[in-house]
Structure 1
């Protein structure tokens, strides 16, 4: 991952708006996926992310890599690291959007909670991943 100031406002704003809209429109499913992955792995693999390259898909962002990136960008990601470290997965979803050389924090507290979303939707993690990634591809461009 790299960090830049986003020289083209249109491109920078576009993918960020698309991720925000996608997450808002699919909030229950995203929360369910977040909880399912949390049950499987805790934070042992890092923070869940949406990587836009080469096409939108879910990834894990290892904590050590986020910390290294923070060092390279003169601690400009310190706030994001604090949010990740203090995340309570029982009530709040925290993910990272990864665009071309940029990252975006995705954070929300769904109603109902992530655990209840997972229980109500009743799909396993792989089914949720396939469903959400299939929906993301036409809706989010990097």
Structure 2
């Protein structure tokens, strides 16, 4: 029987779809982590990234490295760089997903906003990192 287009996810899009589902399921916690790291460092370390290789973990993506990558890919990341540079940390979360030699912009405006998420969840940055990295390992299988 045929039930519509139920093609299996290709390896190229699977990580993107799994990352989208993870972000959607963990928006308050990701917003809290984002705000906690913003309070600690501002944007001095770069943009927060979720690196899926070899196992899902958080990294910083320094601005100069993102700009070097943009140069190597003929300025195809210019829009992403503009979003990163102009986001408002108190209302939206911006991160970079890294997987399979590609990157993906993660951007959302949680309700409540990041400062309130951080306050409501009541965990410190280390606790949030530990919690979210454990959830990533459970929810994202490449």
Q: TM-score range by the shorter chain?
A: over 0.9
- SS where residue 66 of structure 1 aligns? helix
Q: How far, CA to CA, are the matches of 1:12 and 1:52 in structure 2?
A: 13
Q: How far, CA to CA, are the matches of 1:68 and 1:125 in structure 2?
A: 29
- 1:6-45 pair list within 5 angstroms: 10-45=10-45
Structure 2 partner of 1:141:
141
Structure 2 unaligned residues grouped into runs of 5+: 1-8
RMSD value, Cα: 0.9
Q: What per-residue deviation string (whole Å, max 9, x for no partner) do you get for residues 67-87 of structure 1?
A: 000000000000000000001
- Aligned 8 A contact 1:52 1:141 in 2: no
Structure 2 partner of 1:119:
119
- SS where residue 59 of structure 1 aligns? strand
- 1:1-142 pair list within 5 angstroms: 10-142=10-142
Q: How far, CA to CA, are the matches of 1:67 and 1:140 in structure 2?
A: 28
Q: Where does structure 1 differ by over 3 angstroms across 4 or more consecutive aligned residues?
A: none
Q: How far, CA to CA, are the matches of 1:141 and 1:81 in structure 2?
A: 28
- SS where residue 10 of structure 2 aligns? helix
**Per-residue deviation, 1:12:** 1.7
**Per-residue deviation, 1:140:** 1.1
- Aligned 8 A contact 1:56 1:136 in 2: yes
Which one has a bigger Cα radius of gyration? 2
Q: How far, CA to CA, are the matches of 1:30 and 1:11 in structure 2?
A: 25
Question: What TM-score does the superposition give when structure 1 sets the normalisation length?
Answer: 0.92
- Aligned 8 A contact 1:97 1:103 in 2: yes
**Per-residue deviation, 1:141:** 2.8
